[in-house]
Amino acid sequence: MSTAAGQGVFEGDDRQYSPTRLDGWLEFVNGPERVQPEKLSSRGLTALCSGDLLRYDDRRAVWHANIGPIKTPQLLQLHDELAEIVESNRQDGDKAKPAALVDAYPGLGKSTAVREYARDFHRTQIALRGETTPDGHRRVPVIYIALSGNTRIRGLNAAICRFYGLPVRGDADSLAERAKDAVLSLKTAVFVIDDIHFLDASLRATATMANHLKFLANTFPVTLVYIGVGVRERGILTEGLSPEQALHAQFGRRTTALTLRPFQVEDEAGRQEWRRLLLTIERKLVLAHTYPGMLADDLSDYLLARSSGHFASLMALINRGCLRAIRTGHERLDVDLMNHVNNDAAAEEARRELVASLEAGLLTSRPHSRLRHQKSA
């Protein structure tokens, strides 16, 4: 087994960057893929000296914390839908480009999914057009910003400038002009605006912000991709207008709403999808005592109940379980170990109803074909 001296610089390290800054975004886009650590047996673990074991466990911890993204059907569908919008937006600069809104419940991985699409798009644009513009500037096809509570127009414009590393002095208009110059110079084609539900939600502010977003779409030659929770209910798409007036809302007409669904097991297709996800995750776990079916067979219902089918809750639970399995020397995931692992409050709240349905036989995450096979065996 190779020791830390033979590992790449990133292999056992946390990658501390913010994708809301240009340097961090470029690290996200261009950083090397993580390498899955070698899986050692119990004997192999025992043979390591204390220093090598410490470094090996550290590499396993950072690997389990960064598993993914997993190409689930939900993620692939969202990528296809985003591509249809973004990659058809080849209009000249005098025409507004339609926008996309990814509006879904928390914990489904929508931000991760959109960032992955944006990273692929960024890489493709660099491959097509080169790392520099005709004027010699760095090409920046995508920017990514995330909003904070009750963001107003100036705060949104400042976030765009901050991404580029531009000064954030001045009023909203001067910031917008500064950002526009950067967009044109660096040939930015896509704005990803995360947590758009943090825009100021007052009735007057909603209409004002919708008008500002229309201004961005009209004056910046980019595709806007918004990510948020409950955005439609907050009135952004209808510009804060009454139902009768909403028919005339331009923002809603220019924005295509997309979503990301949770895993569900009410039908056989959903159960098969859940099983494929667990099998994929199984293959990525680096524990000495893993075995085929550890998650997909023995923990299928349990993990559904603990995560309520939300991807972020599932991965947090598995990551923490792996850390506990390593620290305790258990080296596998099972119900006894996982019962000591805490998960997010929303998942734990939904757990009771799911457990009751599973125990009563009203619901199962196991495909019927697997159940019949096990009964016959």
CA distance 112 to 44: 35
| pLDDT category of residue 128 using cuts at 50, 70 and 90 | very high
- The arithmetic mean of pLDDT across residues 148-162, rounded, is 89
For 266-285, give the DSSP string: SSHHHHHHHHHHHHHHHHH-
Whether 70 has a pLDDT exceeding 80, the answer reads yes
Highest-confidence range of 32-36, 158-162, 349-353, by mean pLDDT? 158-162
CB 302 within 8 A of CB 314: no
Give this prediction's pTM. Answer: 0.87
For 301-336, give the DSSP string: HHHHHHHTT-HHHHHHHHHHHHHHHHHHT--S--HH
Whether 25 has a pLDDT exceeding 60, the answer reads yes
Q: What is the pLDDT of residues 202-233, one digit of tens each?
A: 656 667 777 788 888 888 999 999 999 888 77
Q: According to the model, what pLDDT value does residue 244 have?
A: 47
- The arithmetic mean of pLDDT across residues 138-150, rounded, is 92
Whether 160 has a pLDDT exceeding 80, the answer reads yes
Neighbours of 186 (CB within 10 A): 19
CA distance 87 to 105: 26
Whether 330 has a pLDDT exceeding 60, the answer reads yes
Q: According to the model, what pLDDT value does residue 126 have?
A: 98
| pLDDT category of residue 236 using cuts at 50, 70 and 90 | low
Neighbours of 41 (CB within 10 A): 11
Q: According to the model, what pLDDT value does residue 328 have?
A: 97
At 193, give phi and psi (nearest 5°): -115, 105
| pLDDT category of residue 26 using cuts at 50, 70 and 90 | very high
Q: What is the pLDDT of residues 164-189, one digit of tens each?
A: 999 999 999 999 999 999 999 999 99
Burial string for 356-372 (b: 16+ CB within 10 Å, else e) reads eebeeeebbbbbeebee
Q: What are the residues facing 191 on neighbouring strands?
A: 143, 224
Report strand pairing: 190-194 vs 142-146: parallel
Whether 77 has a pLDDT exceeding 90, the answer reads yes
Whether 248 has a pLDDT exceeding 50, the answer reads no
CA distance 226 to 144: 10
High-pLDDT (> 70) share of the chain, %? 87
